[in-house]
Chain A
């Protein structure tokens, strides 16, 4: 067997490659990005021609993967948790159609919101869609679950949701690889109608899905990822989901005296839960994210036979990421704090890089807006969201990808004229384009600034679907050529750019200003690679 060192995200990627995957579909998003990036770099994946190009957004990614699964091949989709909101429509419906070739939907949650707008728990979506969920505790399980997830999906005829969180995604350890499984042959579904969700067919398919639920629970009862280990001290039983099992074990280096049910596959194994709850005086539930299992154990009528502790009774915090110290406290053990953080400490929040083009366009925008009054800049998600921080204080909103254009439109409809939208290039093609169509149809009095750094900056510089296409898209959607402006955000162009923005703010209709300058991070990375390849090639 072949031992490698991988991030949790990379372990999923390698597991899927070794497990016979024919394609990964994804839109970047922390902490899921590294899965697809690994596949893009992997020479084995490249040789086999495994699809790994970025998709325009999570919905298009999900649909492409369903298409590949329809054609009988094994496909994986990767996204961050909020991406599943975007992909929710095809995701929920994919449970009704069922899968052809194995289909794994990997969703990376971000408890504590290290790089996110919320900390929603994707297990909720899995339950909602009535699909099996896999939740690895460590890098090896991440590999194994991806590797075996395809056959699980094919066996039950359903997509499988794989849920990880930031910590596992971005933590490295040793992983044992298994032997490579060949890709599936092209094969159309046996049931030619199952992917046609007309109500008459969907009703039948939905009944099938409901009937499968007992089988899924039975699979969970016997799954290797769900283990019940007995212990002598039954004053407490612990149910630990996914990575929280590590935080539990950290506190018992010599072995744990209590019964422990470790859960890595859902729907939850009900028999095993009954076994531990009936043999222990009290149950502590450890789960990363929302108290989903805890809540269902408590029941609406609070009729659990034993007290249930966890995030809802205050044993653990209701929000935020878990760690071994929080679990330690919940277990009633003493936490060993080191020295306190001295008073001189200050925060060091992320900031726009020195020399970033977003800064220059914000300076020009702020100046142009001076006489119009504040509160009219609707921004979006990306590096440019950091324009919310001092010294810029340049934006008023950031809700979800694409919301800048549509919120500016809504505010303009309400009478806030002019309203300004600020959106990045990748966000524009992710979900700004459709909102632009709404605004064009009504010729809304808004000025849209597409701050185009020609990359997907915030997530580390992935290829942006927008490169080379923004003007064409805007004109095609119907923006007037005379109100489509292109500027270069540089200090020396400041006055000129203020004037361009002012002109468009004064125009009562829709304008798009593209502020285009390459991201300084991608630019310097590109130059470094150029220099390195040059020096290597001159030597050899």
Chain B
């Protein structure tokens, strides 16, 4: 009872591929026959606004669609500033895993170094230059997969389940796209283990 549980907040900016990450975790969760609820943002905020998705996995039924305050085990963010927006939801032992490349679409965007330093004040953090890793792999749009790979060790799912999630989600786009995204996922995991 209660052995497997992950409360995850996925964050970023509308259009950065958060819903794809959520879809992959969803497939992986199904494969492992766990309970889950995943809420996401549609509508106005998708126009370049801050967006998040709450993902709750457990081996017992999940009640609330939203992660309660102080209960997130992981904030996985494809954008540095957006990592900090949901801090009140992080639990004492929770992890921050984020991309170091900013998405700057507001005039008062804070200094990047200050953001990264603030993230680094939290003991359990992992900052990864996912944009660069994705670009080096020739897959500019793959930084969301890199971040997912980096965070995979803090999610209560097997890495193989995430891999099969990628296959399922990208299947209809052809094998090349599946392989590209698997590479990005693995590169993220490897970067995190370094």
Contact = CB atoms under 8 A, between A and B. Distances in A.
Interface of A: 5, 7, 30-31, 33-34, 114-115, 167-168, 170-174, 243, 246-247, 249-250, 253, 323-325, 328, 335-342, 344-353, 383, 386, 458-460, 532, 535-536, 539
Interface of B: 13-14, 22, 26, 30, 35-50, 60, 62-66, 68-72, 81-82, 84-85, 87-92, 94, 105-106, 108-111, 114-115, 118, 122, 173-174
Contact of B87 (A243, A323, A339): A339
Contacts of B22: 172
Contacts of B49: 348-351
Contacts of B111: 344
B63 A324 contact: yes
B154 to A, nearest CB: 16
Contacts of B105: 348, 351
B37 A173 contact: yes
A529 B122 CA distance: 42
A167 B65 contact: yes
Contacts, number: 159
30 contacts: A5-B26, A31-B43, A33-B42, A34-B42, A114-B43, A115-B42, A115-B44, A170-B42, A171-B38, A172-B39, A172-B40, A174-B36, A249-B64, A250-B68, A323-B64, A336-B91, A337-B70, A338-B87, A338-B90, A341-B85, A345-B81, A346-B106, A346-B109, A349-B106, A350-B14, A350-B44, A350-B46, A350-B47, A351-B105, A458-B44
A340 B39 CA distance: 23
Contacts of A348: 13, 48-50, 81-82, 105-106
Top-8 shortest CB links A-B:
A336-B70, A30-B43, A115-B43, A350-B49, A171-B39, A250-B64, A171-B65, A350-B47
A172 B109 contact: no
Contact of B118 (A243, A344, A350, A353): A344
B58 to A, nearest CB: 10
- A contact patch SS: loop
Nearest to A352: B47
Contacts of B45: 114-115, 350
A345 B38 CA distance: 25
B88 A340 contact: yes
Given A348-B13, A536-B174, A338 B46 contact: no
Contact of A346 (B48, B68, B87, B108): B108
Given A253-B60, A324-B66, A351-B106, 18 more contacts: A5-B30, A114-B41, A115-B45, A167-B66, A171-B65, A172-B36, A173-B65, A324-B64, A336-B70, A338-B94, A341-B88, A344-B115, A346-B81, A346-B110, A347-B106, A350-B47, A351-B105, A459-B43
A33 B110 CA distance: 35
Contacts of B72: 338
A386 B47 contact: yes
Contacts of B44: 30, 114-115, 350, 458
A130 B81 CA distance: 49
A434 to B, nearest CB: 26
A330 B157 CA distance: 35
B122 A339 contact: yes
A223 to B, nearest CB: 21
Given A171-B65, A173-B36, A342-B118, A30 B42 contact: yes
Contacts of A324: 63-64, 66, 68
Contacts of A250: 63-64, 68
A419 B167 CA distance: 55
Contacts of B89: 338
Given A337-B70, A348-B13, A348-B105, A31 B36 contact: no
Nearest to B55: A172
A284 to B, nearest CB: 17
A171 B37 contact: yes
Max count, chain A CB within 10 A of own CB: residue among B41, B63, B70, B108: B63
B27 to A, nearest CB: 8
A198 B14 CA distance: 51
Contacts of A352: 47
A323 B66 contact: yes
B3 to A, nearest CB: 14
Contacts of A174: 30, 35-36
Max count, chain B CB within 10 A of own CB: residue among A171, A249, A335: A171
Nearest to A8: B65
Contacts of A172: 22, 26, 36-40
Contacts of A347: 50, 106
Contact of A338 (B47, B60, B70, B174): B70
A326 to B, nearest CB: 10
Contacts of A342: 84, 87, 118
A393 to B, nearest CB: 14
B47 A353 contact: yes
Contacts of A350: 14, 44-49
Max count, chain B CB within 10 A of own CB: residue among A172, A246, A535: A172
Contacts of B39: 167, 170-172
Contacts of A167: 39, 65-66
Nearest to A321: B66
Contacts of A170: 39-42
A72 B105 CA distance: 53
Given A170-B40, A171-B39, A249-B63, A336 B84 contact: no
